[in-house]
Structure 1
Amino acid sequence: MNPIHLGQSSSLPSSPEQAVLDYVPNPRPGTLYLV
């Protein structure tokens, strides 16, 4: 995992289309997981 935004300051994108999300692996596969 190489987060771009998690754990640090980052600027807001100029539009939703330009937004980039960080994804983290689900520690319990098969169940819903929200960070």
Structure 2
Amino acid sequence: MFLLHLFYVNARVIFTAAYEQYLLKSCQLADKQ
């Protein structure tokens, strides 16, 4: 059960970081236009 919780937290952190990178790239592309 603890491992599952650890995996969930880890996945959430990775997802959040990936989403931030996506927003960052989207903003940069919007600025270039």
Asked whether the two chains share a fold, i.e. TM above 0.5, the reply is: no
Scaled by the length of structure 1, what TM-score is found? 0.13
Q: Highest CA radius of gyration, 1 or 2?
A: 2
Q: Which has the higher helix share?
A: 2
